[in-house]
Chains A and B, each alone.
Chain A
């Protein structure tokens, strides 16, 4: 079962994995109030147990100026309600851009919990630059894991990615996660931020 996305973000936070500034809302009024705490551009994401691939379903909308909020919020809900009635709410999130990587985890039939790291976003399928390790990983494992990817040569903030990997490994181990996708993990000069997450228990 996919856990609600806003709870998945909270789990990341609990394990010191940086997430975008965001507010979880259940109606438009609350979304308007959230504007006071966040700065544009923003991204609205539907939080529903039934919608896994949000962007293709029109369930991710961008808000570049405050005036766009109402229209984009309504569009988001209209698109979502075409797919399902089960909608937990909407995540209003500051938009983070930058080079995209990914951290994933799954339960391998032969080896149990494994973690992977590599190029993320649209590059995942095309380049297949994803490397696996068994959970739990130690610092030396995380270092070697990063070194085994082709992406390492363009990676900034290596030490932050390393910490994020160790934290993700700990999260999967302690929280009984069966599958996790942090994709994209945005890595720039200053931070490694889990811009989107999906956790299945």
Chain B
């Protein structure tokens, strides 16, 4: 369905409710477009002549050009009129930031804006949402100023969120952690464009390789299931369901069978549709990063390479408990590994390079291990507290990863500021890095399970 292109790739936008006041949403959103958007920009506000060097129009109808997308940030009671005028103007889609609709019981008002849009075949995102961010086209309706909320750089993860504020926080964190993003959509009251249509759209989107979903509920369960099942056959979808406890959810929710909270049903539906289920926000993006950065493994045998014995043990525990397998190196590889590590180091699985390992010891061992047909994936533990390991370990990992692109390599490193600096470097060059063996191996398990679902791993 190409119809959502007008939302993500418009050639011209109007900001209805553009404002002079620096803290107002209408100001911040206009500023976003001025800063990054390459197309034509038309601010609309009846009381202003000029904004940020752009001519400001009294009404969308006065704009002397075609407008593909309108962003509407005006009080709820005026939204219907604005939508109608957009329709008359031939605007293809509108993102309605304004709240004051069904979320406060104003159902008729919400139905009114949908009716107005339908009359002209115009698409709506929202209302009551943060809207859309596209790192490629720089459509950006997120109304947090950049000094409070950074924008992530371009990547291949797209995120659909039922919660706008949560999405904003994730975009900010993604920017800080160097996690690349393709698109973010806050669906708000989803009066028209909903998660189902977006999932299908992202399934076809060449800039999206991983779809991430945060949902609390759906208005069309079966439709959601079908869309997910279609898309998971092409790309991974990682999802989290909010509202696990049912506390605060509508009391009319059927509890015919007392066991069946909607969370359990949701989770079962996700599994049935081939979706990777995350239990919490941290896991949601731990898994998304792995899918975003590395290719899918062709088996479940993992080789651990570490400079810390304890972390080797913990990684092994996680691998076994998650029903994955420890790789058994070929004789040839074992011989090579023994040739480069000191006699007091252990050349099995885990390979313990011991505390005085430097990056060249890692490099030589990793090259042999990655080339071994008995190894499907590699888990590298590198503790940077040990002074023999220099920053060039980052270069080693990137060059080994590039040389063997079909064998996923995940990294675990724990520590303070020095470690964090290196973690960010590795994220920037697309090496998924985790602060604990448990989080890293969970990501590994998700990769392997999804590879199995796609038929890349024979049982």
Contact = CB atoms under 8 A, between A and B. Distances in A.
Interface of A: 104, 106-112, 114, 116, 124-125, 128, 130-134, 137, 141, 144-145, 148, 178-179, 181, 200
B260 interface: yes
A132 B266 CA distance: 8
Given A134-B268, A144-B271, A148-B271, A106 B222 contact: no
Given A111-B225, A112-B221, A134-B225, A106 B268 contact: no
Interface of B: 217-218, 221-222, 225, 253-254, 256-257, 259-260, 262, 264-269, 271-272
Contact of A141 (B222, B262, B272): B272
Contact of B259 (A116, A133, A134, A141): A116
A108 B218 CA distance: 12
Given A109-B254, A111-B225, A130 B271 contact: no
A130 B263 CA distance: 12
A127 B77 CA distance: 51
B254 A133 contact: no
B241 to A, nearest CB: 11
A136 to B, nearest CB: 11
12 contacts: A104-B260, A107-B254, A108-B265, A110-B217, A110-B266, A111-B269, A130-B260, A131-B264, A133-B271, A134-B225, A134-B269, A145-B268
Contacts of A104: 257, 259-260
Query: Which 3 residue pairs spanning A and B have beta carbons closest together?
Result: A132-B268, A111-B221, A110-B221
Nearest to A132: B268
A146 to B, nearest CB: 12
B259 A111 contact: no
Contacts of B262: 108-110
B448 to A, nearest CB: 14
A107 B271 CA distance: 19
A37 B259 CA distance: 38
Contacts of B268: 114, 116, 131-134, 145, 148
Given A110-B262, A114-B265, A141-B272, 18 more contacts: A104-B260, A107-B256, A108-B221, A108-B265, A109-B253, A110-B218, A111-B265, A111-B269, A116-B259, A116-B264, A116-B268, A130-B264, A132-B264, A137-B272, A144-B271, A144-B272, A145-B268, A179-B257
A193 to B, nearest CB: 21
A191 B268 CA distance: 26
A125 B97 CA distance: 44
A112 B260 contact: no
Contacts of A178: 256
Nearest to A137: B272
A121 to B, nearest CB: 13
Contact of A112 (B217, B222, B272): B222
B264 to A, nearest CB: 5
Nearest to A138: B272
Contacts of B218: 110
A109 B267 CA distance: 15
A132 B256 contact: no
Contact of B260 (A108, A134, A145): A108
A179 B266 CA distance: 18
Contacts of B265: 108, 110-111, 114, 132
Contacts of B257: 104, 106, 116, 179, 181
A131 to B, nearest CB: 6
A128 to B, nearest CB: 7
Contacts of A131: 264, 268, 271
A106 B254 CA distance: 10
Contacts of A130: 259-260, 264
Residue from B217, B262, B272 with most neighbouring chain A CB atoms (10 Å): B272
Contacts of B217: 110
Contacts of B271: 131, 133, 144, 148
A181 B257 CA distance: 9
Contacts of A114: 260, 265, 268
A104 B264 CA distance: 13
Contacts of B266: 110
A126 to B, nearest CB: 12
Contacts of B254: 106-109
Contacts of A110: 217-218, 221, 262, 265-266
Given A110-B217, A111-B222, A179 B269 contact: no
A112 B224 CA distance: 12
B9 to A, nearest CB: 32
A18 to B, nearest CB: 23
A12 B272 CA distance: 25
Contact of A106 (B260, B267, B272): B260
Contact of A132 (B222, B225, B253, B269): B269
A144 B225 CA distance: 16
A124 B259 contact: yes
Contacts of A125: 259
A92 to B, nearest CB: 28
A132 to B, nearest CB: 3
B285 to A, nearest CB: 23
